[in-house]
Structure 1
Amino acid sequence: MNTNAPPIVVSSLDLERIEKLFELQQHRDSAGAKLLSAELARANVLDPKEMPDDVITMNSTASVVDENNGESRELSLVYPRDADSSANKISVFAPVGSAMLGLRVGQSIAWKVPNGRDLRLRITAISYQPEASGEFHR
């Protein structure tokens, strides 16, 4: 576990659904499962109705800036079945997805991409969060 990682908050609903995915072999044995499991182990878990509106939860859409080159883009954090990189829908099992889960606006994440390069993204805004929109049982 990364001891320099920022604190994260996860909804109990998201945690329950992700834990169910760990029961499926294709997810349990995936490359991102160990990282995601470590992130969830250090998370502060809240009821969906208590979720602050500046936290990335499942199905949230956030604006991020690449701190290495200043490029901005919008990413949606989704379950594996909904992942689509061409639409900037990132699976929570992908390294950047597991790193985004539970982050707040203003926090940064760093990780190595497959070519060994270090990337660092800062969360600049959340344009959509299910809990903030009153969707507690999605």
Structure 2
Amino acid sequence: MSSKKTSALVIAKTDYLRLMQLIEKNGTDAADALDLEISRAKIVDDTKLPADVVAMNTKVTFSDLDSAEEKTIQLVYPQDADVTQLKISVLSPVGSALIGLKIGGTIEWPIPSGKVRRLKVIAVEQQPE
């Protein structure tokens, strides 16, 4: 389940290396989808990652362009995921779709019913690791 991005992707080197380890250990379709998404990203030194980019452990607010509904989640590794706290795994469809997008970036996110949701990143809050 891959998403279509209309914006360039940027990923910090440390996140990229950790995500590649996660993908190698996890032989699922979700890991393959994440691999496909980050293979198109520009990898930058951690200190050069812009503050407006969705990275691991950031809180991201996005808007559903069709319903105008806004949601804020924290993008986390699978072991830290907790839907009740809105901590969403990078291996989830929306998690792999959001990683690397900047504020203003948009994605088309396929949902299981076969429809597509269009999402736009409207805020990013970096969280210390």
Give the TM-score normalised by structure 1: 0.85
- Equivalent residue for 2:10? 9
- Equivalent residue for 1:55? 53
- Equivalent residue for 1:94? 92
Deviating more after overlay: 84-93 vs 100-109: 84-93
Structure number, greater radius of gyration: 1
Is the alpha carbon distance of 1:30 and 1:5 closer, same or farther for their aligned partners in structure 2, counting shifts above 3 Å? farther
- Decide which of 109, 126, 129 is 2:126's aligned counterpart: 129
Cα deviation, residue 65, structure 1:
0.8
Cα deviation, residue 3, structure 1:
7.3
Is the alpha carbon distance of 1:2 and 1:48 closer, same or farther for their aligned partners in structure 2, counting shifts above 3 Å? same
Cα deviation, residue 39, structure 1:
1.3
Aligned-partner residue type, residue 47 of structure 2: K
Cα deviation, residue 101, structure 1:
0.4
- Equivalent residue for 1:80? 78
Task: Please list the CA deviations of residues 85-133 of structure 1 after superposition, one character each: whole Å capped at 9, or x if unmatched.
Answer: 222211111111111000000111112111212111110111x214xxx
Task: Find the aligned partners of 2:109 and 2:122 in 1 and give their Cα distance.
Answer: 18
Q: Does 1:111 align with 2:109?
A: yes
Q: CA-atom RMSD, angstroms?
A: 1.7
**Number of aligned pairs?**
128
Secondary structure at the counterpart of residue 32 of structure 1:
helix
Do 2:77 and 2:90's aligned partners in 1 also have CA atoms closer than 8 Å? yes
Aligned-partner residue type, residue 14 of structure 1: D
Task: Find the aligned partners of 1:49 and 1:65 in 2 and give their Cα distance.
Answer: 28
Do 2:5 and 2:107's aligned partners in 1 also have CA atoms closer than 8 Å? no
Cα deviation, residue 22, structure 1:
2.0
Is the alpha carbon distance of 1:123 and 1:3 closer, same or farther for their aligned partners in structure 2, counting shifts above 3 Å? closer
Give the TM-score normalised by structure 2: 0.91
Secondary structure at the counterpart of residue 70 of structure 1:
coil
Do 2:4 and 2:108's aligned partners in 1 also have CA atoms closer than 8 Å? no
Deviating 4+ runs (over 6 angstroms) = none
- Equivalent residue for 1:36? 34
Cα deviation, residue 79, structure 1:
0.4
Cα deviation, residue 45, structure 1:
0.3
Unpaired runs of 5+ in structure 1? none
